[in-house]
Structure 1
Amino acid sequence: MELELRHLRTIRAIADAGSLTKAATALGLAQPALSAQLKRIERSLGGELFERGRQGVRATALGALVLDRARLVLPAVLELQEEAVRFARSGAPAGAGRRPLRIGGTHGPLLGGLVDRIASRDPGVEVVTHTSWSEREIAASTLEGRLDYALIGTCGESPPPEPGRLVWTEVARDPVFVMLAAGHPLAARPRVELGELAGEAWTDVPGDGCFADCFAAACARAGFAPVSVYETDIASCVHLVQVGRAVGLCRATFPDTPGMVTRPLAGTPLVWRHLLGRHPHAAAAVDAPRMTGHLRAAHRAAVARSGSYTRWLAARPPSEDGDAARDG
């Protein structure tokens, strides 16, 4: 038999009552049942816990040791239970201040910008981040309470993960640009037709969203299928573009980088929406408007850092997708 908390409560009740008869009454048990239980507990611990006499029971040396531990363990467990209930109801443990804000995100510029905004505007808030290539993983962690917010993106009007169970707010939307080596023949163009890149190898970051399908559909509309697509991390994508091994896709907020340029695709065939997700009943939901404001400010800062994006916005003709670059 393994020792359980109920066994420690039984031992303490016997010691406090001073007799098996009084302890049985306090515990709502028949005395024979309590005696049998005590014998099982003593066998599991390797010796007698109480000496029986005319004046009742007295703890043995082993009993005193177990009682000392029980008087530490049982209040601690009770406190843990009470604190857990308060935490579940309020989102913060009593006496511990505000718990860390847990934010999950996929690759992109806004997660870092959000952390920076929170650190500068809300310095008392501790932030814990989690990143994944999987939008579904981030959404599932938010749904299960392991994250407070999910920062992901979707292509065009495609729905995000768990649309009926998480609340999603669109923070901003950007056109998708193409990354070219600085010496690429099309690098001097103000914008590039997607069909002009039909013979190129491509590079992009992995993901389990709809972007790959949206890209394939846009290429099909332009009259070609991609020759090859290298899925890798952002740094490797940039390297492949810089050395001329591939062209890449990026959000328009991608910062200017030595050795490569970003250019808009004519007609804006691909659009990326930045979304903030949360559980509707999570304690952190009360801060959602503030979080959304921080994200929109981080997006504006990212736009300002991209020379190609700011030029595109200034020169955008009325025929371009009016929703692209919408901020809020």
Structure 2
Amino acid sequence: MELELRHLKTIRAIAEAGSLTRAATALGLAQPALSAQLRRIERALGGALFERGRYGVRATALGELVLERTRIVLPAVSELQREAARFARTRRDGGRLRLRLGGTHGPLLGALVDRLADAAPGTSVTTCASWSERELAGLLAEGRLDFALAGVSGSAPPPDTPHLVWEEIAVDPVFVMLADGHPLARGREIELAALADEEWACVPGDGCFADCFTAACARAGFTPRRMYETDTASCVHLVQVGRAVGLCRATFPPTPGLTTRPLAGTPLVWRHLLGWQPAGQRPDIAATVLAQAREAHAGAAARSDSYAHWLAQRRETPDTASGMVP
């Protein structure tokens, strides 16, 4: 058997976990399969890499030697992958600059692609959508994306991934979606406590939004009855038929049968972010994409009558308590 990078990663995972059981869980393997793989690796290297004991495993002298090399080889290969991705990213095919954009659910990704098509007509743009901010950050770190649109709730930090920078595009209040016939749809804003008996719908994610929403409900004196986490189209349907009240960003586009309204006191806010690797991106390209992302957000905000009205009110009476800046 020839030694491969995946074998070195397996050795490192076992050493970091301190036991085969924990390492198997981290690697998504059954422990017998990991034990068999380790035996094959040890045969290829000519000796035992770990001593098994009652409380886990400990590297042998040979294991320490191999681990020392993995600390050099694995980062070097990762850097090679990043450099190759940067080279491929900046290469021009037929005079066209290639950009790979990622984004979570929402209207901004499509709006950004549209604006880049006008601002840089010679650019070839591909997109990748994901529910997971952490997944997008990982794709950026691996060089598989050039830029990613993501978001976090309130003052929560963005995904903590080395070598990435996150710039704020805008901060929005979180609105609620109601069926047009809902009794509260006629008001200008809604007290969160007035929705205590409702069921809820929102799109999934791996950030802290669910915790922030639960905390806001607790401050309003209730616990949410039920939360349907599903795709945007299903959320819209659940709201239209009166099954649930939806949570949405204030830039949610006008939709037949739906009314979006702000929550009194702005108990929830959403920060739109753009992330990229500074070392692998030309500053002028990063500045252009960031500027176009901000323009895309401004356009989405202008298309929402309820958001435009909310912004106009805040300009007249700034809501300093919520931290929102018009």
| 1:19-75 residue CA offsets vs partner (Å, 9 max, x unmatched) | xxxxxxxxxxxxxxxxxxxxxxxxxxxxxxxxxxxxxxxxxxxxxxxxxxxxxxxxx
Kept in 2, the 8 Å contact 1:174–1:325? The answer is no
Q: Which residue of 2 aligns with 1:205?
A: 203
Rg (Cα) greater in structure: 1
TM-score by length of 2: 0.70
* Equivalent residues of 2:85, 2:143 under 8 A apart: no
> Is the contact made by 1:204 and 1:230 (CA closer than 8 Å) also made in structure 2?
yes
Q: Which runs of 5+ in 1 are unaligned?
A: 1-83
Structure 1 residues 190-199 or 252-261, which shifts more? 252-261
Aligned positions of 1:289-304 closer than 5 A: 289-304=287-302
Q: 1:172–1:296: 8 Å Cα contact kept in structure 2?
A: yes
Distance in 1, matches of 2:92 and 2:111, equals 31
Residue 305 of structure 1: aligned partner? 303
1:168 aligns with: 166
Q: 1:314 to 1:86 in 2, by over 3 A?
A: closer
Instruction: List aligned pairs for 1:234-313, cutoff 5 A.
Output: 234-313=232-311
2:72 is the counterpart of 1:107: no
* Mapped partners of 1:271, 1:109: distance in 2: 17
- Look up the SS of the partner of 1:186 in the other structure: helix
The alignment yields a C-alpha RMSD, in angstroms, of 2.1
Taking the TM superposition and a 5 Å limit, the aligned residue runs for 1:81-120 are 88=86, 91-93=89-91, 96-120=94-118
User: Counterpart of 2:55?
Assistant: none
Query: Does the Cα contact within 8 Å between 1:178 and 1:248 map onto a contact in 2?
Result: yes
How far apart, in 1, do the equivalents of 2:149 and 2:283 lie?
Answer: 14
CA 1:119–1:221 in 2, change beyond 3 Å: closer, same or farther? same
- 1:220-241 Cα offsets, whole Å, 9 max, x none, are 1111111000011101101110
Q: What is the number of residues matched between the two proteins? A: 243
- TM (norm. structure 1) is 0.70
Answer whether contact 1:175 1:272 (CA < 8 A) is retained.
Answer: yes
Shift of 1:258: 1.4
Q: Aligned match of 2:153 in 135, 152, 155?
A: 155
Contact 1:181-1:244 at 8 Å conserved across structures: yes
Which aligned pairs between 1:41-80 and structure 2 lie closer than 5 A?
Answer: none
Structure 1 residue matching 2:138: 3-state secondary structure: helix
Following superposition, the deviation at residue 255 of structure 1 comes to 1.5
Q: Is the 8 A contact 1:110 1:298 kept in 2?
A: yes
After TM superposition, give the deviation of residue 109 of structure 1 in Å: 1.3
Give the C-alpha shift of residue 280 in structure 1.
Answer: 2.1
Cα displacement (A) at 1:121: 1.5
Give me the identity figure in percent: 60
Report the alpha carbon displacement of residue 172 of structure 1 after superposing the two structures with TM: 0.6
